[in-house]
Structure 1
Amino acid sequence: MRTNIIRNQAISISHHRVNGWTVFEVDGEVDVHTAPQVCEAAVGLLDHGHRYFVLDLCFVPFLDSTGLGAIVAITKQIKAHQGSLHIACSSPRMRKVFEIGGLQQLYDFYDSPQDAIEQAPTPDGLADWPYSLP
């Protein structure tokens, strides 16, 4: 069952659990105005025991550097909780943003949330993730 966390004119964030993963779906632009809401929603889920995330960016038409920073901040929090993170994003344009930001090699990308949840999560999913990024 999908649960809405935030729904306003700028962004919609919801989550549901599948195969041990929390699919964290973002719908809308992730920029300087909405990135704090994305972080807050993810940290709220972490505080409620969710550790294994699929960040679904399939409905995100725009992601700026503040949005990338928010994803890095979320990743650090997930790693601190010994969790895992997969990113669902089929858009080559969106993946290019990660490449330009120097982050493409640091994440596991999947074309859809369904692809990202096929394997059950493991607590060492971010064991090699660089914790010392800016």
Structure 2
Amino acid sequence: MEITAHDADAGFTILRLVGRLNMVTARQLRSSVAEAVAEGRSRLVVDLAQTESMDSSGLGVLINSLKVARQAGGDLRIAAPNEQVKLVLQLTNMERLFHAHPSAEVAYQND
């Protein structure tokens, strides 16, 4: 998995994920979130537009990352999940916790 971080003009950080978010790659996202929060960037968007799939480990790291961001006074939102990722969120009833935004750029638009 490849993760790139980009600071948006609206005061949040976009983490773009390319590949599979699973047991093998979940640590990379955890590390990227921890690094961003340590640098004072706690308003995060995980852009899933190029994420091929997500398993329970990937979901777990999203939940943990949300907790880390909120404990730092921020929030974590998701954007552009594909159908497989949406299905994982629905089956686990996590779509209530992670409202999917159409794109990373609009995730904080109404705040």
CA distance in 2, matches of 1:70, 1:90: 15
The alpha carbon displacement at 1:101 in A equals: 1.8
| CA gap 1:40/1:90 in 2 versus in 1, 3 angstroms | closer
* Alpha-carbon separation, structure 2, partners of 1:76 and 1:90: 20
Query: How far is 1:118 from its partner?
Result: 2.5
Does 1:12 pair with 2:2?
A: yes
Between the aligned residues of both structures, percent identity stands at 24
Equivalent residue number for residue 98 of structure 1: 89
> Structure 2: how far apart are the matches of 1:70 and 1:88?
16
* Distance in structure 1 (CA, Å) of the matches to 2:46 and 2:18: 11
**Aligned partners of 2:32, 2:45: CA distance in 1, in Å?**
14
Unaligned runs of 5+ in 2: none
Runs of 4+ in 1 over 4 A off after TM superposition: none
For the pair shown, the structure with the greater C-alpha radius of gyration is 1
Partner amino acid, structure 2, of 1:93? Q
Q: Normalized against structure 2, the TM-score is what? A: 0.91
Structure 1 residue aligned with 2:43, among 48, 52, 67? 52
- Give the residue type in structure 2 aligned to 1:23: I
Consecutive unaligned residues in structure 1, runs of 5 or more? 1-10, 121-134
What are the equivalent positions in structure 2 for 1:52-131 lying under 5 Å apart? 52-120=43-111
Calculate the aligned-residue CA RMSD, in Å: 1.3
1:11-66 deviation line (CA, Å, top 9, x unaligned):
11111111111011111101110001110111111111101011101110010000
- Residues 90/76 of structure 1: CA separation in 2 closer, same or farther (3 Å cut): closer
Deviates most, 109-118 or 99-108: 109-118
